[in-house]
Amino acid sequence: KEAPPAAAAPSPVAPPPAVVAPAPKLCEVEFFGSVKYDKPLPPGQKFWVYAVQGDCLAKNPHVLGVTPVNPEGRFGYEVFSSWGADLSFCAGLAESADKPVTIYGKAPGKFHAEAEGEVYFRDIVITPKAGASRTYPQVRNAFEGPPPAPPK
C-alpha cells in the first residue's frame, strides 16, 4: 500500500511592511521688516527681533530664531518652522537677546508658514512701547519641547 502524499509545507507568510511615520515637515521662512521707535536708544542697547512659533507675547514663547536690528531699524532673517504653523514676530530692546526687555512690541498681522520652497514675509513693522518686564527663552528648533524648568 502506498503512503499518502506528504502534506505540503505551508508557504511562509511575509510579515506586513513596517509602518514608518513620516518625518515632521518643516517650512523655510524668511522675514524682513523694520522697528519703528522714535526715541534715542540707551547706550549699549539695541532692538532684537524674535521669530516665534505661536504667540510671541505668550508666557513661554517657542522662539525659533532671533536677530539684531541694524542702526537704521531694519531686520531680516530666516527660520524653519513646523509646517502649517502660525508665527509671530516681536522686537525687544536690550543689551543682548537673552536679557529682560521692558520696551517691546508685536508685529500686527497673520504669518502662516505653509508653502513649498520658502515663505517670505516682507515689510513687517513692529512699534515697541513700554510694558511689564519679560525675558525671551532660548532658541529651540520647530519640534523641540519646552526647556526644562530651572531648579528650585
Half-sphere exposure of 86 (CA within 13 A, CB side): 7
- Buried b or exposed e, range 36-53, using 16+ CB within 10 angstroms: ebeeeeeeeebbbbbbbb
Cell numbers 513646523: residue = 82
Q: How many helices (H) and strands (E) does the chain have?
A: 0, 9
Strand partners, 145: none
pLDDT digits (tens, 9 = 90+) for 120-129: 999 999 999 9
pLDDT of residue 13: 64
Report the percent of the chain where pLDDT is more than 70: 80
Q: Which pTM does this prediction carry?
A: 0.81
Taking the C-alpha atoms of residue 105 and residue 88, their distance in angstroms, rounded to an integer, is 11
pLDDT digits (tens, 9 = 90+) for 57-105: 999 999 999 999 999 999 999 999 999 999 999 999 999 999 999 999 9
